[in-house]
A and B are shown apart, each in its own frame.
Chain A
Amino acid sequence: MADSFRRAVARVAAFFRKQPLDRELEEEVRSHIEMATEDNIRNGMTPEEARRRAMVKFGGVEQAKEKQRESRGLPWLDTVLQDLRYTVRSLSRDRGFATVAILILALGIGANVVVFSVVNTILLRPLPFYQPDRLVWIAPEHANGLSGSTYSVDAYEDLRSMNRSYEDVTSYFAFSTPDNYKLMGRGVPLPVTGIMVAGNFFHVLGVDAAVGRLFTEEESRKGGPAAVLLAYPFWQRQFGGDRSIVGKAITLDGKPVTVVGVLPESFDFGAAFSPGSKVDILTPVMMDDIRYEGNTLAIIGRLKPGVMVPQARAEAKTLFPQFYWGKKFPESKGQYDGWPAPLKDYVSGKLRRSLVVLWCAVGLILLIVCVNLSNLLLARAAARSKEFALRSALGAGRGRLIRQLLTESLVLAGAGAVLGVALSYVLLRYLAHQGSIALPLLNSVRLDGTALLWTLAITVSTAVLFGLLPGVRASKANVQEALKDGGHGTTEGRKHETMRTILVVSEVALACVLLIGAGLLLRSFLKVLDVDLGFEPSTAAALKLDYDDGNNTDKRSAILQNVARRVGAIPGIDVVGFSDNLPLDRNRGWGAPRVKGKNYKPGELPGAFVYITAPGYFQAMGMRLRGRDFNWSDNDKGEGAVVLNQSAAQGLWPGEDAVGKLAVLGKKDVRVIGVIADVRDTNIEGKTGWQMYLPMMQSDWGPDGAYLVVRTKLPPAQLSGTVMRTLREINPNQPSVEFRQLQGIVDHAISPRQFFVLLVATFAGLGLLLASLGIYGVISYSVTQRTQEIGIRMALGASPEHVQMSVIRKTLQMAAVGIAAGAVLSIAMAQLISSLLFGTAPTDPPTFAGMPVLLIAVALLAGYLPARRASRINPMVALRNE
């Protein structure tokens, strides 16, 4: 064993000392033959005879040397290096081909690495928590929107104490708004976003503080010391990563709060639980404060070892109906159900299909790239058939030739991969910093070891895939035939052409599938853009307003009226309004209003989405209102007032006009003063439920903060300075915030779809380009091959138009066959992606008609150039050229 190892080392050493060892061998062999010759002379031979016999005895000198070298060094590595050197030489002779091939490969491989990294980050990689596969998201089985997937404090506490499936259960307050805290005492008040979590939140997730500690039990109890944990990026940004901040107090909303710790960099609340938003601080939720505020807690559990999800589900079936909304209301028992699902499914489950489709699309691209390169290599192999014939005539085996060709494709693929990885690195960095794309975990996307391994795998398989066919064909070439001069237009050439035509046809088919898929998704996206949102996002902007009303409704009304007057006077601002919630932003459901005097069974009415607003909001948002808006006198002195959306109005008074009718909300009578168009509340693609708007000026429903909403034709950023100055004059504590354009909120909501459409459309474009390159290559090659034939035809009287038409006809034939095959495949493909479509049938006629037309047009263009060249062939020149 030790001897074998010694020999392996010696061989490697010998590999690097080729020249001196060869010289020694040379000398040894020479003296061997001389000694043998001398012996022979001594035995009475003539010098010539002596030397000849010595040589015969020795056997082939070169063979002996070669054998010694093989035993001595690493012969396979020598061959590989030889192949590599040869490859580099032959590729650098054919620079145009090499450049095109490497570029195509770089695009194909780069696209694959990007998509793989995204898929890996969102779908494959485990969540950044301790044993994340034991974590489950607990929500009703058919949860609709966030409001439907949360529980009350009493239900949560009962679940914690009564379950047998979980090591522990935790929760967070699911209805926090962006910028819900002000950080003060450091110059201008700064808006920060905080999430309230249960005291055991981090223990259950298995996340420890990077600096300092987590919350103590005391800190999560009402009246305990106020504590806050900082998110890592916020700590870096706001405190410059200063470790001494831990233990010190900061001022949040005017109250001192102790920073007890900093969370690790890997923990990103927003990335996992609310994609596309940033979370700066985490505070303990005081359960007693929100006990009767409704279903406000999102629940996460960690399964006990050995407990599987189905068991937890079975338990939930009997356990959840025992929970109360609030224990002081005995009748509130029994409205819950629970359906634990792996947390990973909750975070990325909805995206699985989109990502798989994306992955398939990019796989198709790679396939098209392979076909394209196969084609290019076949063309090259045809041109090199003499070279190969010569090599095989000189004794190169078939395996050796195939190996040589595979080395070439590996070198090409390798160079393409290097370029592709560089390309994907840039793209991934860009994606990771796109905070506005609402995809979970996207900010942690990066080029990691797994992605590089994937790159290696696809590079090698690509190389084999596109190199093998041309390799096998080239090595099969008939030596005799190829070495004979003027092998033009022989059967071999025609067979080559058939093979290439098949390749191009399949390329067109694949591109057709991609194009139709992209077309369907694009149509869906346009339909989404076309959705009637119920408001005008383009001219509306909002900012979080800070005010201190001391919980007095009249004072609040006075402050808001003052703000409305002062801000409304700023030039460029057309309308001012207020609301505590914006569309497509935060979720909040309350019990729906009832028709006065009518009794309802429990569960008969759906919940209603609530916006608490002040005058001007509807107009500022560009919403369509029938009836009247609130006015400042809709206060406690006046009658209760409510504005319903169409769904709610029709639900309560089917076939009647709801305006002016009386409803009961909670225990209060409210007059329906207006009916407003449905507004997309939580997402654009889903259905709209019941919505109601209540006045901020009535004390029965306190608003949860307030947004100042303005209608303006100016870019809001231009107004920010003036508005902020005005607000600061009214309230010096107003944090410095930027206007949020409503359009931005809409864009955020459609960003995942936009992201997918953009990628798929890019891939389809790439596929189209590659297919047209393939068509161009084949037609152009066949024109070159047939130059003489065309020359003869023209000499015999064929018109240039006729020649041109015949080339174009050939192009169209290829394209048509490819498109027909592609369209059939597309019908199957469209069924698979039908769940991703919006407002578009999987058999959408415009797409199925338009994409083939596009393909035909591109094919025509690709065929036109060689056709024109063919029609300009000068018969005299073509015939003389033999």
Chain B
Amino acid sequence: MGDAKLDLLQGTLDLMVLQTLAAMGEMHGYGIARRIEQASGDEVLLNQGTIYAALVRLQQRGWIEAEWGASENNRKAKFYSITKRGRKQLAEDTAYWMRLSSVMGRVLAMSDEVQS
């Protein structure tokens, strides 16, 4: 089961983070990581720590913003939320992914037929 986990493609983590924030609203880093794991059905191999490099990248591009706040248990945490430009970027990237995966699906299905 462990070796069956998916390695993340370059850039996919950024997109997942954006999508998570767009869907769930304001969240802290731990929350985002948890949410991605749950949504992927624990199929993604994610060192939760790597999320912070993605967060700082997105923040520097102006696609998300951060603010210190208090968590449910009243713990100090940094909360991230998606910006307007982040949403635009998300829409673009999502469309791209959809196209890519449908193309990939078609191509791979064809090669399947040939083999069988």
Contacts and interface: CB of A to CB of B under 8 A. Distances in A.
Given A31-B71, A64-B50, A70-B53, A7 B61 contact: yes
Given A3-B61, A3-B62, A6-B62, A68 B52 contact: yes
Contacts of B97: none
A59 B47 contact: yes
Interface residues of B, number: 28
B30 A32 contact: yes
Interface in B66-80: 71, 73, 75-78
Contacts of B33: 32
A703 B78 CA distance: 100
Given A7-B61, A27-B76, A36 B48 contact: yes
Contact of A35 (B30, B52, B57, B89): B30
B63 A3 contact: yes
B11 interface: no
Interface string A11-47: 1001000000000110111011011101100000000
A521 to B, nearest CB: 63
Interface of A is mostly: helix
B101 to A, nearest CB: 24
Contacts of A6: 60-62
A40 to B, nearest CB: 12
Interface string B34-63: 100000000000011110111111011111
B3 to A, nearest CB: 17
A619 to B, nearest CB: 92
Contacts of B73: 35, 38
A67 interface: yes
Contact of B48 (A7, A24, A32, A67): A32
Contacts of A65: 49, 52
- B48, B50, B62 pick with most chain A CB within 10 angstroms: B48
Contacts of B55: 68
A72 B71 contact: no
A271 B64 CA distance: 67
Nearest to B54: A71
Contacts of A35: 28, 30, 71, 73, 75, 77
A29 B48 CA distance: 10
A59 B50 contact: yes
A60 interface: yes
Contacts, number: 87
A71 B52 CA distance: 9
Nearest to B75: A31
B51 to A, nearest CB: 8
A60 B53 CA distance: 13
B76 to A, nearest CB: 6
A72 B60 CA distance: 8
A71 B78 contact: no
Contacts of A4: 61
Interface in A470-509: none
A58 interface: yes
A39 B73 CA distance: 11
Contacts of A27: 76, 78
Contacts of A28: 28-29, 52, 77-78
A290 interface: no
Nearest to B77: A31
A68 B56 contact: yes
A29 B71 contact: no
B60 A67 contact: no
Contacts of B85: 3
Given A24-B78, A28-B28, A72-B56, 4 more contacts: A27-B76, A31-B28, A32-B48, A57-B47
Interface of A: 3-4, 6-7, 10-11, 14, 24-25, 27-29, 31-32, 34-36, 38-39, 57-61, 63-65, 67-68, 70-72
Among all A-B residue pairs, the 4 with the closest Cβ atoms: A64-B49, A59-B47, A10-B60, A67-B53
22 contacts: A3-B89, A31-B76, A32-B30, A35-B77, A36-B30, A36-B48, A39-B34, A57-B47, A58-B47, A58-B48, A58-B49, A59-B49, A59-B50, A61-B49, A63-B49, A64-B52, A65-B49, A67-B49, A67-B53, A68-B53, A71-B56, A71-B57
